Amino acid sequence: MKKIVEVKNLTKFYGDLKALDNFSFDVKKGEIIGFLGPNGSGKTTAINSILGLLKIQEGEIEIFGEKMSPEAYQIKKDIGVVLQNVAVFDYLTVYENIDYFCGLYVKEKDKRKELVEEAIKIVGLEKYKKFFPPKLSGGLLRRLNIACGIAHKPKLLFLDEPTVAVDPQSRNNILESIKKLNEEGTTVIYTTHYMEEVEFLCDRVIIIDNGSIVAEGTVDELKNSLDVGEKVEVEFRELTVKQLEKLKKLKSLVETSVEGSVITLYFKKQKDNMVKLFEFIKEEKLEAISMNLKTPTLNDVFLEITGKELRD
Ligand SMILES: Nc1ncnc2c1ncn2[C@@H]1O[C@H](COP(=O)(O)OP(=O)(O)OP(=O)(O)O)[C@@H](O)[C@H]1O
Ligand SMILES: [Mg+2]
């Protein structure tokens, strides 16, 4: 499949701080790639470096098979960008802002009008067309930021945490629209801290930490790479201390926590975990009042790979 983005050994310093360390990855035509990583891991730096907005110390970047540079206007005309920091003009209305950004790519007036109206609909700003940005709430401003980046239907779209502060209704609409753009041919690089967005959108995920890629794969591949299997929350009508001790000795159980009458069991990845649990319940003649089974989530993967400690 054709490579739309090819990044090789990208290294970026801010003064003495190495923000990207030998960062390499590819994006194929038609993919939606999720960029995940803790705060300060280098996602925005990677995107802005690829876009030629930041000076890099080392590395090669090709987009659409051509070398990317700050002056590569031929490449840039087919790219859309929704930056992490909202970038709109305060003295232009909502409509005028979107029209301005779309106008950088689409000169024909009628076509542009159609595209601007469509973008307004996607982000649900119909009622706010004549508003100036300083009069918009944080979430509405974010939605305007997105509309400005997507209106011209680029071949390659970068979105850096676009849905921060956006309410769930608009978020669904935006995610659906990104998917639709993708189905129409747009390749997407998407950064977020919302795992459910990644599960919904992304074909492939790249997890970044300390300026390097620490994991890469589809959501399922990443989940399968974990050591942990099911997590089971179970409540028994009666359970003696002796029985609890015996339960804790179940093979492949890695951790048990008890909170009130609810016991949470964390199993290693193994096929017969539930069979063993049911055998135990039967043998001990126990009565389970409730049982809740959870398989690992992308959030579990993220925490396992990047660690659970808080970042600065
Ligand atoms: N303009 C800058 N000058 C100096 N250091 C910077 C600058 N921008 C970012 N950094 C540092 O580079 C590192 C990577 O930052 P970056 O903004 O790329 O992270 P991020 O993964 O996008 O984080 P977030 O999830 O918070 O958006 C951090 O240590 C950050 O403090
Ligand atoms: Mg960022």
Number of domains in the chain: 2
* Residue 107 CB neighbours (<10 A): 9
Asked if 117 and 242 sit in the same domain, the reply is no
Identify the residue whose C-alpha is closest to ligand 1 atom 28.
40
User: For residue range 207-234, what is the model confidence (pLDDT) as tens digits?
Assistant: 999 999 999 999 999 998 888 788 999 9
The mean of the pLDDT values for the chain is: 93
| Cα distance between residue 195 and residue 206, in whole Å | 13
Ligand 1 binding pocket includes 53 (Cβ within 6 Å): no
Does residue 279 belong to any structural domain of this protein? yes
Does residue 169 belong to any structural domain of this protein? yes
Q: Is residue 47 scored above 90 in pLDDT? A: yes
Alpha helices in the chain (DSSP H): 43-50, 73-76, 94-103, 109-123, 138-150, 168-183, 195-201, 219-224, 241-248, 273-283, 298-306
Q: Which of 300, 83, 296, 295 is nearest to 207 (CA)?
A: 300
Collapsing DSSP to helix, strand or coil, 132 comes out as coil
Q: What is residue 126's DSSP assignment?
A: G
Asked if 51 and 170 sit in the same domain, the reply is yes
> Which ligand 1 atom is nearest residue 208's CA?
21
Identify the residue whose C-alpha is closest to ligand 1 atom 24.
39
Q: How confident is the model at residue 120 (pLDDT cuts 50, 70, 90)?
A: very high
Ligand 1 binding pocket includes 45 (Cβ within 6 Å): yes
Q: How confident is the model at residue 309 (pLDDT cuts 50, 70, 90)?
A: confident
The reply to whether the predicted model has a pTM over 0.75 is yes
Asked if 125 and 269 sit in the same domain, the reply is no
Q: Which two tokens stand for residue 257?
A: 């926590």
Asked if 150 and 265 sit in the same domain, the reply is no
Does residue 35 belong to any structural domain of this protein? yes
Q: Are 16 and 38 in contact (CB under 8 A)?
A: no
Instruction: Output the CA 195–ligand 1 centroid distance in Å.
Output: 20
For 26, 29, 174, 257, 278, the CA distances from 205, given in Å and listed in that order, are 12, 15, 19, 31, 36
% residues pLDDT > 70 (the chain): 99
User: The domain that contains 245 carries what CATH number?
Assistant: 3.30.70.980
**Listed residues 160, 191, 223: the one ending a domain:** 223
* Residue 194 CB neighbours (<10 A): 17
Structural domain containing residue 112? 3-223
| Cα distance between residue 198 and residue 32, in whole Å | 9
Asked if 56 and 160 sit in the same domain, the reply is yes
Asked if 214 and 238 sit in the same domain, the reply is no
Does residue 167 belong to any structural domain of this protein? yes
Does residue 240 belong to any structural domain of this protein? yes
Instruction: Output the CA 46–ligand 2 centroid distance in Å.
Output: 9
Does residue 44 belong to any structural domain of this protein? yes
**Listed residues 170, 192, 223: the one ending a domain:** 223
State residue 67 phi and psi, 5-degree precision.
Answer: -65, 130
Asked if 214 and 263 sit in the same domain, the reply is no
Does residue 268 belong to any structural domain of this protein? yes
Residue 98 is predicted with a pLDDT of 98
Ligand with smallest separation from the Cα of 160 = 2
For 8, 24, 121, 259, the CA distances from 53, given in Å and listed in that order, are 17, 18, 30, 51
Ligand 1 binding pocket includes 42 (Cβ within 6 Å): yes
Does residue 308 belong to any structural domain of this protein? no
Please report how many Cα atoms fall inside a 13 Å half-sphere around the Cα of residue 146, on the Cβ side: 31
Instruction: Output the CA 258–ligand 2 centroid distance in Å.
Output: 38
Ligand 1 binding pocket includes 41 (Cβ within 6 Å): yes
Q: Is residue 265 scored above 80 in pLDDT? A: yes
Q: How confident is the model at residue 312 (pLDDT cuts 50, 70, 90)?
A: low
Asked if 161 and 245 sit in the same domain, the reply is no
Asked if 217 and 255 sit in the same domain, the reply is no
Residue 43 is predicted with a pLDDT of 96
Residues with a beta carbon under 5 angstroms from ion ligand 2: 43-44, 84
Q: What angle do CA 31, 57, 105 make, to 5 degrees?
A: 45
